[in-house]
Amino acid sequence: MNATMDDTIDVSIEDARNLLIDLVSIPSPSGEERAAAERLVEFFSANGREAWIDEVGNVRAPADDAVLLTSHVDTVPGEIPVEVRSADEDDVETKVAEKEGEDVLWGRGSVDATGPLAAMAVAAVRAGVSFVGVVGEETNSRGARHLVVDRDQPDAVVNGEPSGTTGITLGYRGFLAGTYVATSESGHTSRPEPNAIQHATEWWTAVENAFDSDEYQPVFERVTAKPVGIDGGISEDGLSVEATLKVQLRVPPSLDVDIVRETAEAELEIGTVSWAEPIPPVMESPRTEVARAFRAAIRKGGGEPRLLRKTGTSDMNLYAGAWDCPMVTYGPGNSDLDHAPDERLSLDEFDESVAVLERVATALRGGDD
Residue 169: helix, strand or coil by DSSP? strand
Distance CA 236, CA 233 (A): 9
369, 350, 368: which is closest to 11 by C-alpha? 350
The phi and psi torsions of 155 (rounded to 5 degrees) equal -75, -30
Distance CA 229, CA 48 (A): 47
Distance CA 147, CA 141 (A): 10
Angle between helices 257-266 and 196-210 (to 10 degrees): 130
Distance CA 270, CA 184 (A): 10
CB-neighbour burial class of residue 32 (10 A; exposed 0-12, middle 13-18, buried 19+): middle
Distance CA 50, CA 42 (A): 10
Backbone Cα Rg of the chain: 23
Does 137 qualify as catalytic in the annotation? yes
Residue 287 CB contacts under 8 Å (≥ 6 apart), including other chains: none
Q: Would you say 186 and 256 are in contact if contact means Cβ atoms under 8 Å apart? A: no
Q: Beta strand 327-331 with 164-172: parallel, antiparallel or unpaired?
A: antiparallel
82, 86, 97: which is closest to 28 by C-alpha? 82
Does 342 qualify as catalytic in the annotation? no
Which of 33, 137, 284, 358 is catalytic? The answer is 137
Helix (H) or strand (E) holding 105: strand 103-106
- Residue 110 DSSP class: T
Alpha helices in the chain (DSSP H): 13-25, 34-46, 89-93, 114-127, 142-150, 196-210, 257-266, 289-300, 315-322, 347-364
CB-neighbour burial class of residue 345 (10 A; exposed 0-12, middle 13-18, buried 19+): buried
Q: Would you say 290 and 158 are in contact if contact means Cβ atoms under 8 Å apart? A: yes
Which of 33, 74, 91, 112 is catalytic? The answer is 74
Which residues carry out catalysis? 74, 137
